Amino acid sequence: MINFTNFSFQYNNSPDPTLSHINLQVSQGEYVLIMGPSGSGKSTLLRAINGLIPHFFGGNYAGNILVDGKNPLRIPPNEMAEDIGYLFQNPDNQLLMEKVIAELAFGLENLAIPLEDIEARIQEITQIFSLHDLIPRRVNELSGGQKQTIALASLLAMQPKILLFDEPTSELDPLAARKLFANLSKLNSTSNYIIIIIEHNIAEIIDDIDRILYLEDGKIQFDGNPQNFYRKYEKNPEILKPSLIDLSFQIQEIEPDKGMLNAPIPLNQSQFLESYSAFLSQRTFEHLRLPQSTPKPIEQRLDLPLLSVENLYFAYSSGSEVLSQIYFHAAAGEIICIIGKNGSGKTTLLKNIIGLLIPTKGNIRINRNPKTLPRNANDNEVLLSQGYVFQNPSAQFFRDSVRQELEYIVRGLPLTKEEKIDRVDEILRFFHLTSLQSKYPRFISLGEQQRLALATALIVKPHLLLIDEPTHGMDAIQKVHLLSYLRKIQKEGCLILIATHDHQFASSLATRILYLDNHQIIFDGPPNQVLPYLPDFTTVINDTMNKLTGKTTPYLTVAEVMEVVNHE
Amino acid sequence: MVTYPIEIRNLDNFLHFPNFHFLQNSPVINRLSTVPKKTSLYSFPSATRDAGSLVFTFYLFSTFLLTFLYDHPLLLTIILVNVLWFAQRYGVLPQLKMYKSMILYISLFLFIINILLNPVGDLVLWRIFPPSRFFSEINITIENIVATYIGVIRLSIVLLVFGLFNLLVSNDDLMGIMLKIRIPHKIVLLITLSLKFFPLLTQDITNLQEIQKIQQGQVSGQSQKILNKLRTKINIILPLLTNSLERSIQIAQALEARAFGISKKRTSYFHYSFTFQDYASFLSILGASTIQIYLWVQGLLDFSVYPSFSSTFFSITDIILMFSILVFNVILIYIIFPRRRKQ
């Protein structure tokens, strides 16, 4: 169905080819995951399939591509769209109409489908995705997950043969992402679609996919099934494994003689339990003690909170209440992750604390600045003690170079000229940005942008750092790097508050979780005691250990399980 | 090791909230083939729409056009009042308050530009002596003030017209109606998508301003100075343009991926109907606009500021004409226009 023959592509103004000598065949019904480091050519490969390359993104190409007998190098992408559905990362920028029903009809109108058939297809897709409640609504009223579902439904209504997905869940909370993956899995098993997906959240789909393509420097380095992929790259630290596979490798390492070396690589929970439950059952998990490897606050001074939020209420001018009865204290050296579904008020809470939004009612006190409400973002004294990193790091850069971004922030500080230069150099070194200091901030990679955003917030040495969705669009390796930077910042005695829907990241980093739902804090406590009670937000490891022991266990990460295993 | 006691709050609320049930069922996906191919419209909202969006667009466009035809400050004021009446009539005046601070900043900017670039006029109100002899003195004249007033009113009308468009006009309907009256669909989509940019642009401005508020706070003391504030406002232009460019690329890709612009003759899912009121509104706006353009061609209501005022504010003919425009607009807004809002 899809056939690449020795295909190479180089973007205009790019010094090197992005894709090099690609030879690839994908057959009907295959579900393919494309993996690879940032800049390895994953998105370019997808764009080549539907003709966005070379018609939309210009460049030089060699070789040939055939998709269901059509050549996307000659046929423009809008004509290829009859056969190929392409779901992009950001649902906001791919929904083109105001109303959901108009959105569903748009592609069909373009394909000149007769009116009665449009209606039948909309009915059909409405049933498939249970969209009845969404049909009369406006697109801008929907949550991120709902928008992505509508985008997918709009594509499927066009009845393509091939579906291409470019990081479709990067804007979604875990529940919405899981629903999307479930939909894809059903589609793949009940129909004959080719599905090709680029996705960082590998653990959620590894069991469904037939094949992995691993790209590096524009070349296919691996093409085969998931088991073979992880067996080949078992020792490669740059390729992070889904947690159950990681746990199986670590168990095999300490018990090589127990016959588990021949066990298949577990792609899902039941496969893992089948191979390892006997081994793990020998270990005593009955005490369920808190693991030592769990993240801890640096100093434990809740009697001297750095931040106190007391009985906070917030409603927008439209009257819709977003936060109510929010009450918590936080001390220096804590890392608090605020989790909850899309639209649960995580960002709103952060914006209330920083002063970008003014609470309807309640108090926010910052220890070193005992000022209480009302206050706002023009209050320099308050802001000097806080740093804020927005969800999209590139949006917060205004100047021409990495260094200028930092110099702009530092120039208002009460320091001498030399001290200011030293402060900029120091923060550049801390975040490994020195070699990038003359680069235009929007042209550096996402991980580097996130580091620069953190640097601009931390250069004033704030006591409190607020970060909104820091792992947005990051792959697993970038998350590991970010995690180590945040731990370093924590050691400086900074209180870090993070709004995130990345529960895996939160479980590895947070010393404490605030779970928001229905405008309120529902749970407040350490990850090991909160996440296991939230089935939608807990980790695969925790869920597996709960199934294994028949109890709600506090173990969230591979390290925590291995701690118990090694202890025994 | 010190551990936190877990704190469970509002447990009742938690237990009753439906989304917490373990692994809530995903939407059931059936085989496509099991769904009947043709069913009726019964369960869907009515697919028949009216032409209200086109009426409002036509009115707002004619207002926009007039704003640039005439320079008379009194006439522009009347147009502004009409626009505000229009907003009041359709209950969206409170939503337009967001433009207040933007208009204030633009006013200040225009005032400074007029003083610096057009230091002419007969009646000098104030004279500013520079601190250094390298600069000449600056005169603030009545002409400067009036020119600024004209600029501010004109920009206010433009901003409010765009705001009203977004509040009152459904892009989907506008696109459908324009296609119905056989405007080429590439032009239609170009218009509607460029208009879709406006709310996204205002959202971008809000986001960038939030970031700047934080950064201003970090650059202690700078936020108090007006010049720095102005500089900060100008600083958002580049990221704003970059964001818009990135977004336009993504939207264009999405359009391609949805088969937009292929050679087939596009079909329309919605049926649009025109009422007598719609036709009356079109004819009224068309008639009024034609008369106003005719008056402009004839040089009536002409007004120029520099080097000195070209006409009096209060010639009898001008006043009668302006009063007529005011009365006509009241009739148009309160009697002729359809009462429908965005669907």
Q: How far is CA A314 from CA A73, A353, A388, A473, in A?
A: 53, 11, 19, 29
pLDDT recorded at residue B190: 77
pLDDT recorded at residue B4: 44
Could you tell me the sign of the dihedral formed by the alpha carbons of A472, A474, A475, A477, in that order? negative
> Which residue did the predictor score with more confidence, B228 or A233?
A233
ipTM computed for the complex: 0.77
Nearest by CB to B26, from A179, A518, A525: name it. A179
Cβ separation of B215 and A409 shorter than 8 Å? Answer: yes
> Which residue did the predictor score with more confidence, A101 or B303?
A101
| Residue A381: both structure tokens together | 């004294």
pLDDT recorded at residue B94: 85
Cβ separation of B9 and A521 shorter than 8 Å? Answer: yes
Mean pLDDT on A123-138: 83
pLDDT surpassing 90 at residue A492 = no
What is the pTM assigned to this prediction?
0.75
> Which residue did the predictor score with more confidence, A497 or B120?
A497
Nearest by CB to A191, from B26, B32, B261: name it. B32
How would DSSP label each residue in A295-347?
Answer: ---S---TTS-SEEEEEEEEE-TTS-EEEEEEEEEE-TT-EEEEE-STTSSHH
* Cβ neighbours of A518 in B, within 8 Å: 10, 13, 17
Cβ separation of A98 and B170 shorter than 8 Å? Answer: yes
pLDDT surpassing 80 at residue B33 = no
Cβ separation of B243 and A395 shorter than 8 Å? Answer: yes
Strand order in the sheet with A59-67: A19-26, A2-11, A59-67
Distance CA A82, CA B72 (A): 55
Cβ separation of B14 and A517 shorter than 8 Å? Answer: yes
Q: Give residue-wise pLDDT tens across range A342-353.
A: 778 888 899 898
Relative to beta strand B138-141, strand B124-128 is: antiparallel
pLDDT recorded at residue A5: 93
Cβ separation of B214 and A107 shorter than 8 Å? Answer: no
> Which residue did the predictor score with more confidence, B139 or A115?
A115
Q: Give residue-wise pLDDT tens across range B159-170.
A: 899 888 888 888
* Cβ neighbours of A378 in B, within 8 Å: 213, 216-217, 223
- Chain A CA closest to residue B167: A98
When mean pLDDT is compared across A460-469, B38-47, B283-292, the lowest value belongs to B38-47
Mean pLDDT on A454-463: 85
Cβ separation of A116 and B38 shorter than 8 Å? Answer: yes
Place of tokens 């900017």: B109
DSSP 8-state secondary structure symbol assigned to residue A463: S
pLDDT surpassing 90 at residue B276 = no
> Which residue did the predictor score with more confidence, A175 or B7?
A175
Cβ separation of A96 and B19 shorter than 8 Å? Answer: no
Opening angle at CA A115, ends A110 and A119, nearest 5: 100
Q: Give residue-wise pLDDT tens across range A500-532.
A: 988 888 988 999 999 998 888 988 888 888 888
Q: Which residues pair with A515 in a beta bridge?
A: A339, A523
pLDDT recorded at residue B141: 80
C-alpha distance from B102 to closest chain A C-alpha (Å): 18
pLDDT surpassing 80 at residue A263 = no
Q: Share the mean pLDDT of chain B.
A: 72
pLDDT recorded at residue B191: 77
| Residue A6: both structure tokens together | 């020795």
Decide if B174 contacts B192 (C-beta within 8 A).
Answer: yes
Cβ separation of A56 and B253 shorter than 8 Å? Answer: yes
| Residue A374: cis peptide before it, omega within 30 degrees of 0 | yes
Number of A to B CB contacts under 8 A, please give it. 275
pLDDT surpassing 60 at residue B31 = no
* Cβ neighbours of B258 in A, within 8 Å: 78, 81, 96, 106-107, 110, 154-155, 158
* Cβ neighbours of A460 in B, within 8 Å: 218
Mean pLDDT on A227-235: 88
> Which residue did the predictor score with more confidence, B14 or A134?
A134
pLDDT surpassing 80 at residue A382 = no
* Cβ neighbours of A411 in B, within 8 Å: 219
Q: Which of A398, A466, A518, A529 to mutate to test the interface with B (most CBs of B within 10 A)?
A: A398
Other Cβ atoms closer than 10 A to B42: 6
